[in-house]
Copies of this chain bind each other. A is one copy, B any other.
């Protein structure tokens, strides 16, 4: 962990960011080849979040690159956390092994609801507690990821993922205004494939032919179980999207 504060005392400052969750963060995948995947997009979103939180803090892309190369980072998750008084760089290993991709994710629906009328729903901030609590709860119960409905019982997103489903060969994903964070990978899929964005319910999900999740660290992950029930889905289009993404990652 490296702390880039002005004071350079090397200590975290207990500012409003840490007191009230008023800070932004990004988690970026560093590939086997040492490439920071979709880095410009992550930095762009980080700036937007800081702007929404009214935090005046310069993020230097140079420093990030230097940090990555000087530490020889490879196949690792690189995290940037920014509050009004702190900038922190840190890394951790990527938890998604090839086993996960083979079997797919086992998901369930949280009893909590996403709020489509909250500013922070749309930004990646330190107000991230419900995601982490629900993610932990999911693990305890034997699931890989909790999904959330909004206050009108429409599908929104997972705790740390976005969701897509395929029906009759068409790709669908919930609209941002359902109440979700626009993931960098979510945007990548939309930019590279024809995707319908709409307001969808559980019924739409249940009658779909393929379901997959996305986030920056896992890329594209198929879903094989909902609430523990085996979906017995045949994955074709999802694999096509996954292949396109892996090609992009390695390019």
Q: List chain A positions with a Cβ less than 8 A from chain B.
A: 1, 11-12, 14, 16, 18-22, 25, 53-54, 81, 88, 90, 108-109, 111-120, 125-133, 136, 141-142, 151-153, 167-168, 170, 172, 175, 177, 196, 198-204, 207, 226-229
Are B133 and A130 neighbours in the complex by a CB distance under 8 Å?
A: no
CA distance A12 to B11 in the complex (A): 7
B22 A132 Cβ-Cβ under 8 A: yes
Instruction: Kindly identify which residue among B115, B202, B204 contacts A111, using a CB–CB cutoff of 8 Å.
Output: B204
Bound state CA distance, A218 and B167, in angstroms? 28
**Distance between Cα atoms of A226 and B203 in the complex (Å):** 11
A113 nearest in chain B by CB position: B117
Q: Which of chain B's residues have a CB closer than 8 A to the CB of A136? A: 54
Contact A18 B12 (CB under 8 A): yes
A57 CB, min distance to chain B CBs, angstroms: 16
Q: Give the chain B neighbours of A207 by CB distance below 8 A.
A: 108-109, 226-229
B20 and A129 contact, CB distance less than 8 A: yes
Cβ-defined partner of A115 (8 Å) among B88, B151, B167: B151
Contacts A12-B14, A19-B81: A199 and B111 contacting too (C-beta < 8 A)? yes
Instruction: List residues of chain B with CB within 8 A of the CB of A90.
Output: 14
C-alpha gap A170/B16 in the complex (Å): 26
Which residues from chain B contact A126 at a C-beta distance below 8 Å?
A: 18-21, 126, 129
Question: Which residue in chain B gives the minimum CB-CB distance to A90?
Answer: B14
Would you list the 3 A-B pairs with minimal beta carbon distance, nearest first?
A: A207-B227, A21-B21, A113-B117
Is the pair A53, B133 in contact by a Cβ cutoff of 8 Å?
yes
Specify which chain B residues have a CB less than 8 angstroms from the CB of A114 in the assembled complex.
115
**Are A53's CB and B129's CB within 8 A?**
yes
Taken together as a complex, chains A and B put the C-alpha atoms of A236 and B57 apart, in Å, by: 35
Give Cα distance in the complex from A198 to B122, angstroms: 13
Beyond A11-B11, A118-B113, A118-B115, is A202–B199 a contact (Cβ under 8 Å)? no
Residues of B within 8 Å of A116, CB to CB, are 151
Residue of B nearest to A202 (CB): B203
Residues of B within 8 A of A141 (CB): 167-168, 170
Across-interface contacts of A22 in B (CB, < 8 A): 129, 132-133
Q: A178: shortest Cβ distance to chain B, in Å?
A: 9
Beyond the given pairs A22-B133, A54-B133, A127-B128, 19 more chain A to chain B contacts, judged by CB atoms under 8 angstroms and listed by A's residue number, are: A12-B12, A12-B14, A14-B81, A20-B21, A20-B126, A21-B129, A22-B132, A108-B207, A111-B172, A111-B196, A111-B198, A111-B200, A114-B115, A115-B115, A117-B199, A126-B126, A127-B127, A142-B168, A153-B201
